[in-house]
């Protein structure tokens, strides 16, 4: 004995517009005055010599396409030749039914893209501007928005203002977990000065706030207290311990936007370079990286930075570093020929020259980066967000079949490139970068029975009234037996090879 499965049972109250018969579409078209008027023109064999003025887009378009219109089985259709040179008749869809056709074609079949959804509708149906309608419907589909990767609007780059003072502003980050070393270390605390590009890196056994605070104190003892400390929103940096440390030393703590590491781009780039240098020096077991850390730091500190034109070491100390392959002549040239006071004076002069030169180079480098970035995403810059917009947030924790976006949210505040959003479900708020958002339009589907039916379907409508409306509109509610006398217009041609199910199962549909 066979049993009906989920695909063969028609859900109760599911409206099957695309599966309707010719008779039912004839009844549906009676609710559209424009289609009724054009149908009269076609049946009479002529249209008015003068195009009507102040008419709808539908009537205007059908007037222009009069020669391609026919009436088949009392239904207004449009003649069309497909890619295989086969002539087809597309049913002209009443305006109030187009949202339902779009939903059935896109949502029931499997959320295909714009082109495939358009081709599917084009085989059976037509209405003025239906390609744009398909494009907009697919773009605003909640399921597609949450699961498909599409280009997101990009905010223009806003370079960080660099104060020409060493260790005025530093970026701090955590690398790891890495393979545990013999000393028990698993993480690296990386610290980079935004002006000199000089970097520090400390091996840590854990990333607890107390451990991080002690490592920062050690770095502050060597370089002095920074004025600004830039970190991400990790719990180790958002703790009361770090807050107390900053308060104690008079440090302004700034944080990057969640899941937008570009805010602290300098630190992120250094992390990548440091890991690359360590990767080439560690043993096969990769458990001696903490011993190789000083060598990797030296390699970074003596390499010329493209933005400054000098090495981080020279920027900080005002002299070139002595390397193992240095010559005696270099040693003599770099040695001071005067007393300490004269040396300090010369060092200050050299530092002033370097500071002016490097400041100009940094500004020029930032301008070049911004120009390149904004040019690359120029097409996206007009898609800015505004307060009140409904958006989806990129899900950075998505794994496997998880949705790529969460939401919807509403934007309640905007600060430059950051947006404060509020969940429409939980009402919780968070601040995120605009690049991690995509606009979302809440879907609305028109009543397939037309405006007249809305007046009739009041709260006190009885079953006989509803049945009368269904009969007049030619719209059937599932479940329903297959009409052997009427030819079904099956839009979903690629589902189950169009096999007709036994009468006792009703018309096969997919619930959406």
495, 5 contact by CB (below 8 A)? no
pLDDT digits (tens, 9 = 90+) for 283-333: 888 899 999 999 889 888 888 777 667 788 888 888 877 766 544 444 444
Q: What is the CATH number of domain 22-140?
A: 1.10.340.70
CATH of 389-439, one of 2.30.30, 1.20.1250, 2.60.40, 3.30.1330: 2.30.30
4: exposed, middle or buried (C-beta count within 10 Å: 0-12, 13-18, 19+)?
Answer: middle
Are 121 and 97 in contact, with CB atoms under 8 Å apart? no
Mind giving me the DSSP string for 378-437?
Answer: GGGTT----TT-EEEEE-TT--TTS-SEEEEEEEEEEETTEEEEEETTT--EEEEEGGGE
Residue 179: the pLDDT is: 93
Q: What is the pLDDT of residue 439?
A: 83
| Contact criterion met (CB below 8 Å) for 462 and 114 | no
Give the pair of three-digit tokens for residue 232.
């991400």
- Homologous superfamily of the 169-325+339-355 domain (CATH): Ribonuclease H-like superfamily/Ribonuclease H (3.30.420.10)
Boundaries of every domain in the chain = 22-140, 169-325+339-355, 389-439
User: pTM for this structure?
Assistant: 0.48
- Which has the closest alpha carbon to 289: 199, 174, 218, 203? 203
Q: What is the pLDDT along the chain (512 residues), one digit of tens a residue?
A: 444 443 433 343 334 565 678 888 888 888 888 888 889 898 888 888 777 777 888 888 888 888 889 998 888 999 988 877 788 888 898 888 888 888 888 887 778 788 888 888 888 889 888 888 888 888 888 787 777 765 555 555 555 666 778 899 999 999 989 999 999 999 999 999 988 889 999 999 999 989 999 999 999 999 999 999 988 776 767 778 888 888 889 999 887 655 444 444 788 889 988 998 898 888 888 899 999 999 889 888 888 777 667 788 888 888 877 766 544 444 444 455 566 667 666 666 666 666 666 666 666 766 766 666 566 555 454 457 888 889 999 888 877 777 888 889 999 988 877 889 999 889 999 888 888 888 887 655 444 444 444 444 444 444 444 444 344 444 443 333 333 343 433 333 333 333 344 333 333 333 33
508, with CB counted inside 10 A (0-12, 13-18, 19+), is buried
> Do residues 314 and 351 make contact, with C-beta atoms less than 8 angstroms apart?
no
Question: Rounded to 5 degrees, what angle do the CA atoms 293, 296, 299 make?
Answer: 150
pLDDT of residue 356: 67
């Amino acid at each position: 004995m066979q049993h009906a499965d989920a695909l063969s049972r028609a859900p109760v109250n599911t409206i099957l517009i695309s599966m309707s018969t010719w008779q039912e579409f004839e009844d549906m078209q009676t609710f559209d005055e424009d289609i009724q008027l054009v149908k009269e023109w076609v049946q009479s064999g002529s249209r008015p010599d003068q195009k009507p003025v102040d008419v709808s887009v539908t009537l205007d378009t059908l007037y222009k396409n009069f020669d391609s219109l026919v009436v088949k089985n009392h239904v207004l259709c449009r003649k069309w030749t497909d890619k295989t040179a086969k002539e087809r008749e597309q049913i002209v869809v009443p305006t109030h039914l187009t949202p339902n056709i779009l939903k059935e074609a896109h949502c029931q079949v499997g959320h295909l893209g714009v082109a495939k959804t358009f081709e599917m509708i084009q085989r059976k149906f037509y209405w003025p501007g239906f390609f744009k309608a398909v494009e907009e419907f697919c773009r605003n589909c909640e399921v597609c928005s949450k699961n498909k990767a599409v280009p997101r609007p990009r905010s223009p780059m806003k370079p960080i203002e660099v104060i020409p003072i060493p260790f005025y502003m530093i970026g701090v980050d955590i690398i790891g977990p890495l393979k545990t070393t013999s000393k028990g270390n698993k993480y690296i605390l990386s610290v980079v000065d935004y002006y000199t590009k000089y970097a520090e890196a400390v091996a840590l056994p854990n990333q607890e706030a107390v451990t991080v605070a002690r490592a920062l104190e050690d770095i502050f003892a060597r370089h002095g207290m920074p004025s600004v400390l830039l970190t991400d929103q990790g719990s180790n940096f958002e703790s009361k311990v770090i807050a107390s440390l900053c308060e104690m030393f008079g440090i302004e703590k700034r944080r990057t936007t969640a899941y937008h590491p570009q805010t602290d781009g300098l630190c992120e780039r250094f992390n990548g370079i440091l890991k690359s240098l360590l990767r080439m020096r560690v043993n096969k077991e990769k458990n001696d990286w903490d011993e190789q850390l000083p060598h990797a730091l030296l390699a970074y500190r003596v390499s010329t930075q493209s933005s400054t034109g000098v090495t981080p070491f020279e920027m900080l100390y005002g002299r070139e570093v002595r390397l193992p392959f240095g010559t005696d002549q270099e040693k003599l040239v770099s040695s001071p020929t005067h007393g300490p006071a004269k040396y300090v004076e010369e060092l200050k002069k050299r530092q002033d020259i370097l500071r002016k030169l490097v400041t100009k180079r940094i500004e020029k480098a930032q301008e070049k980066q911004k120009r390149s970035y904004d040019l690359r995403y120029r097409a996206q810059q007009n898609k800015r967000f505004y307060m009140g917009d409904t958006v989806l947030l990129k899900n950075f924790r998505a794994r496997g079949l998880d949705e790529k976006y969460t939401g919807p949210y509403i934007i309640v505040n905007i600060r430059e490139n950051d947006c404060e959003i509020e969940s429409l479900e939980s009402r919780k708020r968070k601040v995120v970068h605009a690049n991690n958002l995509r606009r979302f339009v809440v879907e609305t589907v028109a009543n397939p029975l037309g405006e007249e039916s809305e007046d009739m379907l009041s709260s006190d409508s009885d079953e006989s009234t509803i049945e009368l409306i269904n009969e007049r509109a030619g719209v059937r509610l599932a479940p329903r037996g297959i009409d052997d006398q009427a030819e079904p217009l099956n839009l979903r041609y690629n589902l189950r090879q169009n096999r007709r199910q036994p009468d006792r199962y009703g018309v096969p549909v997919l619930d959406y």
